[in-house]
Structure 1
Amino acid sequence: MKRRTLFALTGLAVLAGCGSPGAGSKGNTGLSFANRLTVPPLLAPTVTADGTKQFALTMRKGRTAILPGKPTATWGFNGAFLGPTVRAARGDRISMRVRNQLGEPSTVHWHGMRLPAAMDGGPHQVVAPGATWTPHWTIDQPAATSWYHPHLHGSTAMHVYRGLAGLFLIDDAETAALGLPSTYGVDDVPLILQDKVLDADGGLKEDPEPTWGLIGDQILVNGVHDPFFEVTTTSVRLRILNGSNARMYNVEFADRRRFAVIGTDAGLLAAPVSVDRVQLSPGERVEIVVEFAPREQVVLRSVGGDHGIDEGDHQLLKFIAAEQLRPGRPVPQRLATTPRVEAPADATQRRFRLSGSDEINGREMDMSRIDEVVPAGATEIWHVQNTVYAHNFHIHEVAFRILDIDGRQPPAYLQGPKDTVFVPEKSTVRLAVRFGHHTDPTTPYMYHCHILRHEDKGMMGQFVIVEPGTEASVPRTLSNHHQHG
């Protein structure tokens, strides 16, 4: 029996055991909320004479006591676990100094960033042990919550799981004028959700046996187990990232209070959407604003679903409001004015078939093969068909809009700008995809499942962006992999 066929059958067997919330799955609902939430520090840049903001990130090994008194081996940027928050504004010239002190190769991908392919940090921009990579670009996209993480082909899952991840926040003048909560760490709070498997000694276990890879029963928020957050304002903006390898979260408050979704992966919505639950597959982000009253306490949680990757009910974080809260402004009813992504009537249509855990359109990833050639500035319609169990789909460099999921409109809060989308089992998602203007016929961007074990196993393809009219002359085989260090 072929390996991928056996793997697909195993996946179906796993799916069969994952039903409604709590159906034979582990949860984590007995927390005491004993640990103060850590907010990742903002990384201060050095500003050069020409105004360029230089940020320094060092990948390194360390030890972290995820459980009190039980340190375990972890990886981090500029520290032992996770990384600082990089923050810059539209129009800023950026330079990064990424140093690798891991003792093995890695990369750093700027997930959600619109930038030249050679600066993207995908599997071709390898940073060798001891080397320093210095990508640079000008930020030219709307305000958004993006992030950074390794993208070394075959090792992405383990590098992220061990702790290499951080946020990259983009600001712009239009968003700043809206009066949204914006004091970082006070009323503008990042939440990086990750699940871990811990052994009896509190150590990280790395045993990706299930179809989707590691799905842990311990949830960390910003690297903190069993956390609480002290609320000091009536309105709090939460920037929530699903930084897990495979787990999907169905996020709600325990009292089912409603909150306003104001943004998704690639920027703000045109108007806020009131909901009581949001769904986040790996790599997706959402920005919400929630209201609190003095002295109240409420738990943020994830409830189990029937997709296999969202098994079990899990408490995430307890919010504890102070006796007196500083009042906030109401969320504006008009947010982003950026036109939504619209495909022309004659838009190019591309089709992608996800099968098993390691193929797109019947082929595994090949670092030397260009799968798609796209003219700069194009808006296309991509059909992403999932023939098996749960997958999702991330496209580098772009912003897209979900047109429909199996012919039905997505929920209103998912109709904003995105770069990652959940593709339910045996469904087809149509996307209107807007590409940028950075051209390079010899350096590819990636599209792939963001369930990281699937990505590592080969569920990934490559595309280049080229000058319009030159598509037919672009070689489909790469002669080198642009490795650094």
Structure 2
Amino acid sequence: MHRRQFLTAAALSALAAACSSDPAVDPASPGPEIDFGTPLRVPPLLNPKSGKDGVRRFELSMQAGRTQILAGKRTPTWGFNGAFLGPTLRASRGDKVKMAVRNGLSELSTVHWHGMRLPARMDGGPHQPIEPGAVWMPHWTIDQPAATSWYHPHPHGATAEHVYRGLAGMFILDDDLDLDLPADYGIDDIPLILQDKKFAPDGSFDGDPLKGTFGILGDHILVNGTYNPHLRVTTERVRFRVLNGSNARMYNLAFADKRSFHVIANDGGLLGAPVEVETLSLTPGERVEIIVAFAPGEQVILRTADNGVDIGEGDFDLLKLIAAKQLKPAPAVPARLASPAAITAPAGAKVRRFKLSGHDAINGKAMDMTRIDEVVPAGAVEIWEIENNVYSHNFHIHEVAFQVLEMDGSAPPPYATGHKDTVYVPSKSVVRLAVQFGRYTDPVSPYMYHCHILRHEDSGMMGQFVIVEPGTENQVSLSIPAHIGGH
């Protein structure tokens, strides 16, 4: 690794918090020791066949229930098609998909398809509310490379609470790229949704997602909604699709025996070639795909370390992996993976600058549902500069793919290259992105950009942009009625 890349990677794991003395910060000490006595829950797969009209139909129902997370206690939870979390959705490039999302809760919510490139009216942001008892039916054609994306609520002011209660699930996209990678869901292709929780004595979720600098930093880490988990490995190599589904916590992932593993993909899909690492960092909303090799009969623990970052407090054991005495052979990790096209801004590309300060505004403005902040021509490639003058943030842009050009003047670590949609923005830093916008135009239906620390997003650290036909940017009204998009 180039020295500057090494220093950048180190900064991701060791940057001291500017707000470490801020009494509003809510650090969490590690939870009780765990014995890994609970089998890891693997979310069910929802992978319907196409109908006679060529459309694949998915049905999701938001509902309340109770879940045993801690031994002997029942926690009130929310979920999709069940009491807690949701099924893993799966579709392929070129598929026509139609969702029927029913809100069985007692309050309004939405469902956002995080990482999906689709029309703004189908995006599931705060302008596509689903009232209690109503059904929302977005539809689009999958037109992007294979990737691990996810879905979660996005009601303005309530996203943190709805995700914290359990509304989240993975959405896996496939394409026809013929690579010899682990792909047997639940066997050698395993989702890992990481979330931290606090519990009251009666077993209910505790804490206020909208208090403190970051909201809740829990002292119990759940993997796929499972506390104290183990997984029995039956193949020589396993592909883990890791999602940071937490409200605020950063995870610095490594194995207790310091083994190396290969990163093969991040937010936007496969890298050009695997990257061998011993540790990596994920902020809320980011995804990564890794391949880990196992020897027969061995046991190893996946951990997260406290490296001094303000949103990564605590050392936690996450998951114990127990290899069978005989393992099914698996091919080596391919030397080459995909060929993600470089996102290159043309000479004279528009540069947009965004300043993050505090936890409730971008460029000095709090989110306003009726205000368009940016107007972008369809198909543009722009440079976005994100300046952070305070404690840690991260930054997510709906609809787009981007490449990280610089993190405070240095290149990103190799595992953070490729196409992404969410990026860590460390304290006192500037991150530069080359952002590729899609071609779905709509001058009145906006997409969002925001900090994906959900307490910050809900407090107003979010803006809106529309994509329009090139040449019509100056014809767009910057004021829109609330809840454009409807049901």
Q: Any residues of structure 2 matched to 1:411-430 within 5 Å, and which?
A: 411-430=413-432
User: Which residue of 464, 467, 470 maps to 2:466?
Assistant: 464
Query: 1:191-340 residue pairs with structure 2 within 5 A?
Result: 191-208=192-209, 209-340=211-342
Task: Give the structure 1 partner of residue 108 of structure 2.
Answer: 105
Farther-moved stretch of structure 1 (43-52 vs 438-447): 43-52
Counterparts of 1:448-459 in structure 2, within 5 Å, are: 448-459=450-461
- Residue 357 (structure 2) pairs with residue 355 (structure 1): yes
Alignment correspondent of 1:437: 439
Deviation at 1:306, TM superposition (A): 1.6
Cα distance in 2 for residues equivalent to 1:12 and 1:205: 27
1:453 aligns to what SS in structure 2? helix
Give the match's secondary structure for 1:359: coil
Root-mean-square deviation (Å): 1.6
Write the distance in 2 (CA, Å) between the matches of 1:76 and 1:24. 27
Q: Which residue of 2 aligns with 1:38?
A: 41
Structure 2 vs 1, CA of residues 383 and 88 (structure 1 numbering), >3 Å: closer, same or farther?
Answer: same
How many Å apart are 1:481 and its aligned residue?
2.0
| Alpha-carbon distance in 2 for matches of 1:369, 1:211 | 26
- Per the TM alignment, residue 140 of structure 1 is displaced from its structure 2 partner at its CA by 0.2
User: Secondary structure, in 3 states, of the residue corresponding to 1:173?
Assistant: coil
Q: Does the residue aligned with 2:456 lie in a helix, a strand or coil? A: helix
Q: Secondary structure at 1:61's aligned position in 2? A: strand
Aligned partners of 1:283 and 1:24: how far apart in 2?
20
Cα drift, residue 416 of structure 1: 1.3
Please tell me the residue identity of whatever aligns with 1:83.
Answer: G
Q: State the SS of the aligned residue for 1:317.
A: strand
Shift of 1:103: 1.1
Please tell me whether the aligned partners of residues 307 and 425 of structure 1 are also in contact (alpha carbons under 8 angstroms): no
The question of 1:380 aligning with 2:382 is answered: yes
Counterpart Cα distance in 1 of 2:481 and 2:208: 35
Sort the Cα spacing of 1:402 and 1:15 in 2 relative to 1 into closer, same or farther, 3 A.
farther
Deviation at 1:338, TM superposition (A): 2.5
Against the structure 1 CA distance between its residues 17 and 235, is the aligned structure 2 distance closer, same or farther, given a 3 Å change threshold? Answer: farther
Q: Distance in 2 between matches of 1:137 and 1:236?
A: 32
Distance in 2 between residues matched to 1:423 and 1:82, nearest whole Å:
28
Asked if 2 retains the 8 angstrom alpha-carbon contact of 1:157 and 1:245, the reply is yes
Query: CA–CA distance in 1 between the matches of 2:153 and 2:73?
Result: 26
| Displacement of 1:201 | 2.1
Q: Distance in 1 between matches of 2:397 and 2:61?
A: 26
- The answer for the alignment partner of 1:27 in structure 2 is 30
For 1:181 and 1:13, how far apart are their aligned partners in 2?
42
Cα distance between partner residues in 1 of 2:149 and 2:28: 31
The residue type equivalent to 2:483 in the other structure is H
Shift of 1:345: 1.9
Give the distance between the partners of 1:479 and 1:104, measured in 2 at CA.
22
Q: Which runs of 5+ in 2 are unaligned?
A: 1-16
Contact 2:182 2:238 in 1 (8 A): yes
Q: What whole-Å deviation, never above 9, does each CA across 1:176-196 have from its counterpart, x for those lacking one? A: x11100000110000000000
- Once the two structures are TM-superposed, the CA of residue 24 in structure 1 deviates from its matched residue by 7.9
Partner of 2:172 in structure 1?
169
Contact kept? 2:27, 2:217, Cα under 8 Å:
no
Give, in whole Å, the separation in 2 of the partners of 1:16 and 1:133: 42
Q: CA contact under 8 A between 1:123 and 1:151: conserved in structure 2? A: yes
Q: Residue 447 of structure 2 aligns to which amino acid in structure 1?
A: Y
Quote how far apart the aligned CAs of 1:203 are.
1.4
CA distance in 2, matches of 1:365, 1:372: 13
Match of 2:185 in 1: 184
* TM-score, length-scaled by structure 2: 0.94
Return the offset for 1:14.
4.7
User: Which amino acid in 2 is paired with 1:360?
Assistant: I
User: 1:339 corresponds to which letter in structure 2?
Assistant: A
Q: Which amino acid aligns with 2:307?
A: G
Q: CA-to-partner distance for each residue in 1:237-296, whole Å, 9 max, x for gaps?
A: 000000000000000000110000000001010000000001000000000001000000
**How far has the Cα of 1:47 moved from its partner?**
2.9
C-alpha separation in 2, matches of 1:146 and 1:300: 22
Structure 2 residue matching 1:306: 3-state secondary structure: coil
Letter of the 2:193 counterpart: I
CA separation in 2, counterparts of 1:13 and 1:169? 37
Contact 1:266 1:418 in 2 (8 A): yes
C-alpha change, 1:431 and 1:29, in structure 2 (3 Å) is: farther
Shift of 1:343: 1.3
Q: Percent identity?
A: 62
Aligned to 1:67: 70
Q: Which residue of 2 aligns with 1:3?
A: none
Conserved 8 A contact 2:444-2:484: no
Of 69, 77, 81 in structure 1, the residue corresponding to residue 80 of structure 2 is 77
List runs of 5+ in structure 1 lacking aligned partners: 1-10
2:208 alignment partner, SS class: coil
For the Cα contact (< 8 Å) 2:19–2:310, is it kept in 1? no
User: SS of the counterpart of 2:464?
Assistant: strand
Tell me by how many angstroms 1:311 deviates: 0.4
Report the secondary structure of 2:170's partner residue: strand
3-state SS of 1:394 partner: strand
> Number of paired residues?
470
SS, match of residue 330 in structure 2: coil
Q: Deviations over 1:154-198 (max 9, x none)?
A: 000000000000000000001xx1110000011000000000001
Q: Separation in 2 of the partners of 1:72 and 1:396?
A: 32
Q: CA deviation at 1:365?
A: 0.2
Counterpart Cα distance in 1 of 2:286 and 2:32: 24
CA deviation after TM superposition for structure 1 residue 354, in Å: 0.3
Letter in 1 for 2:183: S
Superposed CA offset, 1:23-77 (max 9, x none): 9851137210000001100014253221100000000000011102200110000
SS of residue in 2 equivalent to 1:224? coil
Distance 1:202 1:101 in 2: 23
**Amino acid of the residue matched to residue 207 of structure 1?**
D
1:206 shift after superposition = 3.1
Amino acid in structure 2 at the alignment position of 1:441? P
